[in-house]
């Protein structure tokens, strides 16, 4: 029994020493390999595009200048947009925030996702008669925008963006007929 214990102790000691030596010898190599993996990983991951936060002045430049053209909607953007009217204290807004982050990344180059803090940009809240938050403004390139109050699922937002903002399904249905 003592011999078995002694043999196990020796084998265990040798394996621990070899693991430590192996680790220290390969430390530089591991670091280089890790950096290479990180670079490769960065290339293959999504770009992590986030929504753009707007002030009232930026909204007038990028979306609609309601002071210059109060009677008629005239969209200023180069891409259609979605505007999330939110407040930091609002729990449903906090549930919608990661969805808007995902949508900004998903629709990169097709739709711009904006966010407007209703507590800080009260004028915009008044112009759009935001009574409950979150309220989401969907603005296609052509035609009038639509406002949707309340939180929805990611799938519902995608459906509205595809059907109304990008008009993808309507275009596809016309081609099939």
Please give the positions annotated as active site: 90, 93
**Cβ-based neighbours of 134, under 8 Å, separated by 6 or more:** 84, 85, 86, 90, 92, 93, 96, 149, 150, 151
What span, in angstroms and rounded, lies between the C-alpha atoms of 25 and 146? 63
Beta bridge partners of 138: 82, 146
DSSP β-ladder status, 112-117 and 135-139: unpaired
Backbone phi, psi, residue 130, to 5°? -70, 115
């Amino acid at each position: 029994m003592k011999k078995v214990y002694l043999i196990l102790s020796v084998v265990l000691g040798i394996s621990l020493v070899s693991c430590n030596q192996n680790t220290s010898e390969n430390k530089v190599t591991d670091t280089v390999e890790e950096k290479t993996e990180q670079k490769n990983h960065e290339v293959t991951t999504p770009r992590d595009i986030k929504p753009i936060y707007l002030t009232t002045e930026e909204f007038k430049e990028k979306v609609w200048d309601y002071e210059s053209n109060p009677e008629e909607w005239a969209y200023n953007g180069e891409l259609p947009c979605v505007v999330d009217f939110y407040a930091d204290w609002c729990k449903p807004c906090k549930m919608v925030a990661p969805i808007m982050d995902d949508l900004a990344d998903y629709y990169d180059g097709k739709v711009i996702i904006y966010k407007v803090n209703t507590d800080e940009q009260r004028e915009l809240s008044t112009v759009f008669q935001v009574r409950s938050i979150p309220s989401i403004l969907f603005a296609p390139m052509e035609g009038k925008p639509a406002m949707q109050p309340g939180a929805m699922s990611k799938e519902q937002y995608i459906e509205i963006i595809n059907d109304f903002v990008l008009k993808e399904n309507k275009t596809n249905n016309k081609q099939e007929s």
